[in-house]
């Protein structure tokens, strides 16, 4: 059973609508009326018995927030769901799985280092990979208008994922 859902992104206005903030965008979609407060270096709320974090550290330090919350609530890794952007999935697709490789994602790397394991659940939100250019610039660039529509459609298909977040599945 998932007891902590962590939506990854970078804080700050300059990152608000960027690909790297797909996790934050999905949290805002799912919980538009939540009362958020600062806790564990994060924006924190609780919904339907699940504690929800949006770490306010930069992406590559996300493990700080996750490990603090996991320690405080005495959580096992399989009680944690991390929602994040994924370059390896095309835009408009998502995949829910337990464990798996880090695929160069610095937020996941930080969480693994701080928890000592990568055996947590992940909801990978596809952002696609750039054909040319620097990946770092790509992930911190905003979604284009047509991409926002595709992302919104995907979020609509995933809206009930928190009701059964441990059943591995794909969305498109």
Task: Give residue 22's pLDDT band: very low, low, confident or very high (50, 70, 90).
Answer: very high
Looking up residue 138, the CATH number of its domain turns out to be 3.40.50.1470
User: How far apart are the C-alpha atoms of 13 and 163, rounded to whole Å?
Assistant: 30
pLDDT of residue 38: 97
Average pLDDT, the chain: 93
Total number of residues shown for the chain: 172
Number of domains in the chain: 1
**What residues are labeled active site?**
20
pTM of the model: 0.95
User: How far apart are the C-alpha atoms of 65 and 73, rounded to whole Å?
Assistant: 12
pLDDT of residue 17: 94
Cβ contact 11:64 at 8 Å: no
Cβ contact 4:69 at 8 Å: yes
Mean pLDDT of 28-54: 95
Picking from 85, 72, 70, the residue whose alpha carbon sits closest to that of residue 116 is 70
Task: Give residue 112's pLDDT band: very low, low, confident or very high (50, 70, 90).
Answer: very high
Mean pLDDT of 7-18: 95
Q: Domain range holding 95?
A: 4-171
């Amino acid at each position: 059973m998932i007891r902590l859902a962590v939506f990854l992104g970078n804080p700050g206005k300059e990152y608000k609508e960027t690909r790297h903030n797909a996790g934050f965008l999905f949290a805002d979609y799912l919980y538009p009326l939540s009362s958020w407060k600062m806790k564990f270096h994060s924006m924190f709320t609780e919904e339907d018995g699940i504690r929800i974090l949006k770490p306010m550290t930069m992406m590559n330090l996300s493990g700080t927030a996750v490990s603090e919350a996991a320690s405080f609530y005495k959580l096992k890794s399989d009680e944690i769901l991390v929602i994040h952007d994924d370059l390896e999935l095309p835009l408009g697709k998502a995949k829910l799985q337990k464990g798996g490789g880090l695929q160069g994602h610095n937020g996941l790397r930080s969480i693994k280092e701080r928890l000592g394991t990568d055996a947590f659940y992940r909801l990978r939100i596809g952002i696609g990979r750039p054909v040319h250019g620097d990946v770092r610039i790509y992930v911190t660039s905003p979604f284009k208008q047509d991409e926002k529509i595709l992302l919104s459609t995907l979020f609509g298909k995933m809206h009930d994922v928190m009701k059964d977040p441990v059943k591995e599945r794909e969305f498109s």
